[in-house]
Structure 1
Amino acid sequence: MSHYINAYGQPVGAPLPDWQPRAWPSYETFAGEYCRLEPLNAQRHGGELYAAYAQAGDGRDWTYMFAEPFADEAAYVAYVRKLENGRDPMHFAVIDCQSNRAVGTLALMRIDASHGSVEVGHVAFSPLLKQTRMATEAHYLLMRYAFDQLGYRRYEWKCDSCNQPSRNAARRLGFQFEGTFRQAIVYKGRSRDTCWFSIIDSEWPQVKQGFERWLAAENFNADGSQRERLGALRP
């Protein structure tokens, strides 16, 4: 970041004389080529999501979530009912465009419209969604909404420092590592150090271009395998 010198000879941040608080996110549907995001709804998505998560062989996907694995569909639907229509976090279901079924969720949270900052969190992707084009596109759709439509300046990703897959995912998606907040949270009876990542608005054009190049049909072979990695396609 460039520093400027004020009247007292002190370095200060870049001036933003025209800055105005941004709009609060709204519950909308975001359509992509492979998936779409819909406002999370227990009646519409609960059963499908529980069935999608049940594809996992064990409960390891919930280790770093605040929730525990759910005993049955009714328990999961009751959980989703508490999440729907929330102001912060705002949860979205990821819908597979081919099957028209919900296969995962993610949320906008820690929303700070005054400063143009928001975090993506509560990322719960089922085995039907993990490591697919849909998974990458879901993140792209929500980022595009935050930067292009709402005009936010900062998009955050945070995770347990022990969660190496989440840290790898953040870097793959274009987030920059900012540091570790030690003993930031107590959850599930244990201490958590939290890793912080972000993308800022000046980086978004390059990150966006990488997403669009990677998601293009010509980047995939007939068997669906990628020709180029996402990171290789960012300018």
Structure 2
Amino acid sequence: MATDEPEGDPVSTTPSITPSIDSPLTTLHGHHITLRPLQPSDTPLLYPSLAGPSNAALWTYLPSDPILDLDSFTTYIEFMCTRTIFFPFVLLSRNPAHFPPALSLSLSSPIPPEGIPVGITTLMSIVPAHHTIEIGHVLYSPLLQRSAASTEASFLLLKLCFEELRFERVEWKCNDRNLPSAKAAKRLGFSYEGTFRRHMVVKGRRRDTAWFSVVVEEWENVKRVLERWLREENFEAGRQRVRIEDVRARLAKNGE
């Protein structure tokens, strides 16, 4: 029988909340890392971690070419802070293990309480009407990659998106050749959805894009795994005792 009713489960038509630089919600405190909205004043301390010839490899899968001098990096940070495409966060660490040697040598005063800038991550593709948002344009110091701090940064953003801003789908997209990014997405609990072939042209090269997501129905399970893994007792001298994959398997086996 024909019906005039649209198909699909009904959902809220109240838009999700757009992140705001003036909101206290967008300063995120974790045990290993703090996130707050990126500011132009972060540029000088960020530069040794993210730019210059020694960090050129960090830019391989980003739209921009490597940034090799402070003036160009200043322009880049100023563009990010316009917030026309991205809502950028700076990662702040108080752990000297996350500071590059050049920065460590230049620190002549005590580490400020909020920490030292060591990386950038962003919220993007923000569509409040459809409750969708993306974590992307991630740029971490090599010393921060594959650390508890980088995992906690993504966890804090997921928690912000689902619990405070009321989004129902958080996306993660990457060049399908960027295997470390795809592995990070799966490790965090994102589900692979497929690859958009010939999706983009980046730096004159074809980009096929792998899509991942966490949806609101999955969030509590993802949250439980990440919270359990991030517990202080899971680390000794900065090293994990139990991998996230093992925490996930153990919780699933116990029906938690």
TM-score by length of 2: 0.83
1:68 equivalent to 2:65? Answer yes
Tell me, what secondary structure is at the counterpart of 1:59? helix
Identity across aligned pairs (percent)? 39
Separation of aligned partners in 2, 1:89 and 1:185: 18
Deviation digits for residues 191-220 of structure 1 (CA, Å, limit 9, x no counterpart): 100000000001000111111111111111
Separation of aligned partners in 1, 2:234 and 2:44: 34
Aligned partner of 2:17: which letter? A
Shift of 1:88: 3.1
Deviation digits for residues 23-68 of structure 1 (CA, Å, limit 9, x no counterpart): 211222111111111111122x111111112588452221101111
Aligned partner of 1:34: which letter? H
Deviation digits for residues 80-137 of structure 1 (CA, Å, limit 9, x no counterpart): 0111141431111000034511110010000000011000111001123112111011
1:52 equivalent to 2:49? Answer yes
1:15 equivalent to 2:13? Answer no
Q: Which has the higher helix share?
A: 2
**For the Cα contact (< 8 Å) 1:22–1:152, is it kept in 2?**
yes
Separation of aligned partners in 2, 1:30 and 1:24: 16
Q: 2:86 aligns with which of 89, 98, 101?
A: 89
| 1:23–1:10 Cα change, 3 Å | closer
Separation of aligned partners in 2, 1:20 and 1:213: 32
Tell me, what secondary structure is at the counterpart of 2:151? helix
Residue in structure 1 matched with residue 20 of structure 2 by the alignment? 26
Tell me, what secondary structure is at the counterpart of 1:129? coil
Separation of aligned partners in 2, 1:25 and 1:126: 25
Residue in structure 2 matched with residue 170 of structure 1 by the alignment? 185
| 1:7–1:15 Cα change, 3 Å | farther
Shift of 1:9: 11
Tell me, what secondary structure is at the counterpart of 1:38? strand
Unpaired runs of 5+ in structure 1? 1-5
Q: 2:38 aligns with which of 14, 35, 40?
A: 40
Coordinate RMSD, CA, aligned: 2.1
**For the Cα contact (< 8 Å) 1:88–1:108, is it kept in 2?**
no
Separation of aligned partners in 1, 2:224 and 2:158: 12
Residue in structure 2 matched with residue 3 of structure 1 by the alignment? none
Residue in structure 1 matched with residue 227 of structure 2 by the alignment? 212
**For the Cα contact (< 8 Å) 1:103–1:125, is it kept in 2?**
yes
Tell me, what secondary structure is at the counterpart of 2:211? strand
| 1:71–1:224 Cα change, 3 Å | closer
Separation of aligned partners in 2, 1:108 and 1:9: 37
Separation of aligned partners in 2, 1:168 and 1:56: 26
Separation of aligned partners in 2, 1:128 and 1:55: 15
1:115 equivalent to 2:115? Answer no
Separation of aligned partners in 2, 1:137 and 1:58: 23
Aligned partner of 1:228: which letter? V
